[in-house]
Structure 1
Amino acid sequence: MLVKMKKFQVITLFPEMFDGVLNTSMLWKAQQQQAVEFAVVNLRDFGIGPRQQVDDTPYGGGDGMLLRPEPLFAAVANAKQADPSAKVLLMTPRGQRWKQSLAKKFADADAGYIFICGRYEGYDERIVSLVDEQVSVGDYVVTGGELPAMTIIDSIVRLLPGVLGGETSAEIESFSDGETLEFPQYTKPAEFENMKVPDVLLSGNHAEIAKWRAAQSKKADSHKAGT
């Protein structure tokens, strides 16, 4: 039995970027199961004046353009009408680093989410007053918040009950416990180009298989840590 449908709303200047991602594979399946609902909001619809302006030059000088507060305040207010209890997430390098434990926390929460995708050189700082969480996907800069938003949405939706299919699919993955990497896995054929599947996996001894997998996960984790 699936939990209450979770609503994701994305505020962006490039809504077309989300068409393929949200309507393909697992995210499409989640919609068919009525586990999630997606809405992509075009920020330009809330722009100012006949040119629907959404940005302007920064006070104090500097390169580039900043997103103005008025369009984003209006867009968030509109999204809140559709889902009053939704949490507002701002994609920004200043935010907390996204990790699997946060994905699990957000998946388990009884709330929908509104994603603000920045563009240009940034945004007017007053926008932060709208935000519940500032989130980063890593210590690097991309052109806009769309790709981080897609990553975070994917990581949350796949943890919703029934979306992945197998009952333990999410439990054996990398970082499911916050730190351990997933063990290596194999399928047919048992030998390919002189590379063989480990004998223990062909043995049928489930206790030994579990022990081998645990050891391999620890090896992977040690390699990640550089030890």
Structure 2
Amino acid sequence: MRIDVVTIFPEYLAALDLSLVGKARQRGLLDLRVHDLRDWTADRHRTVDDTPFGGGAGMVMRPDVWGRALDDVLGTAPPEGPAGSPSSPGGDSPPPGATTLILPTPSGEVFTQRHAEDLATADRLVLACGRYEGIDARVAEHYRTGGLDVRELSIGDYVLNGGEVAALVMIEAVARLVPGMVGNPESLVEESHGAAGLLEYPVYTKPPRWQDLEIPEVLLSGHHARIDRWRRDEALRRTARRRPEMIAALDGTALDKKDVALLAELGWSVSDDGRVVALPEGEGATDRGAGPAG
């Protein structure tokens, strides 16, 4: 996979040289390039923003600068590179296959594990990191109209100073799904927000006793079926308590009898058509806080 990031703060992306992402770059699993947007400016001040039409506070990033940068990085611009600057290392032709342009923005669709899984199938991702009041809306419209897969995505319901932090989050979430990235692929199967639709169960390691706290006895039993059942039950309990909307989104037809029985204790029922619904207050819910009100 190739990933290009365009930003006015290239140094912000230095964290991508660390940990698994950095190792994947060294091993050639990930072709990750960071570009300075100011290399595509045409004035001596290297201006990337201007005042918003219609008035208001803040500055908006210019579409002409972003257009030159993205055309070049995507490989759709003339080979001489942006005006007033040498040819960019991102100006070579993009690899064949699917390319997705991602614009991190608090007004975008909320980024989830499903997005990460989808984007991990692309051959190439280009992330445009906005700053100030954001990137002129015509940039997304232009490339979307031109047939490019454009995603405006948010990592949560809050506002950051720029898109770099969000880009780091998305790149790590996507890159770890690239084959060969994670040493043990089985570690991806049962983690939170995976195919099971649950939060991950609690995990423990040595020593077995710490600060007068002991790990659950079942984990020392060596009985794999009992351990699997305990982990499944704890995942259901944790999800019901912390993220009830995820319980409500489960496919009841995929639950076994023990799942259904535990959910009933936690205040949930499974209807004949497979819907998982909260029981009325006072019914079930031995683990208070399990239902939607918690």
Structure 1 and Structure 2 fold alike (TM over 0.5): yes
Q: Secondary structure at the match of 1:90?
A: strand
Q: Indicate the structure whose relative CO is greater, using CA pairs within 8 Å and at least 6 residues apart.
A: 1
AA aligned opposite 2:55: G
Task: Give the distance between the partners of 1:49 and 1:122, measured in 2 at CA.
Answer: 21
Shift of 1:32: 2.2
AA aligned opposite 1:63: A
Partner in structure 2 of residue 124 of structure 1: 136
Gaps of 5+ in 2: 76-91, 145-149, 245-288
Shift of 1:51: 1.5
Task: Give the distance between the partners of 1:164 and 1:43, measured in 2 at CA.
Answer: 31
Superposed CA offset, 1:155-214 (max 9, x none): 001111121111201111101126301111111111112111111000000000000000
Partner in structure 1 of residue 80 of structure 2: none
Determine if contact 2:7/2:128 at 8 Å carries over to the other structure: yes
- Select which of 176, 182, 185 maps to 1:167: 185
Determine if contact 1:10/1:117 at 8 Å carries over to the other structure: yes
AA aligned opposite 1:121: E
- Select which of 86, 93, 116 maps to 1:103: 116
AA aligned opposite 1:7: R
Task: Give the distance between the partners of 1:75 and 1:86, measured in 2 at CA.
Answer: 16
Shift of 1:111: 2.0
Shift of 1:35: 1.2
Partner in structure 2 of residue 93 of structure 1: 106
Report the count of equivalent residues.
220
AA aligned opposite 1:94: S
Q: Classify 1:40/1:178 alpha carbon distance in 2 versus 1 (closer, same or farther; 3 Å).
A: farther
Determine if contact 1:100/1:178 at 8 Å carries over to the other structure: no
Percent identical pairs in the alignment equals 36
Indicate the RMSD between aligned Cα atoms, in angstroms.
1.3
TM-score (norm. length: structure 2):
0.72
Determine if contact 1:101/1:178 at 8 Å carries over to the other structure: no
Partner in structure 2 of residue 12 of structure 1: 7
Partner in structure 2 of residue 73 of structure 1: 67
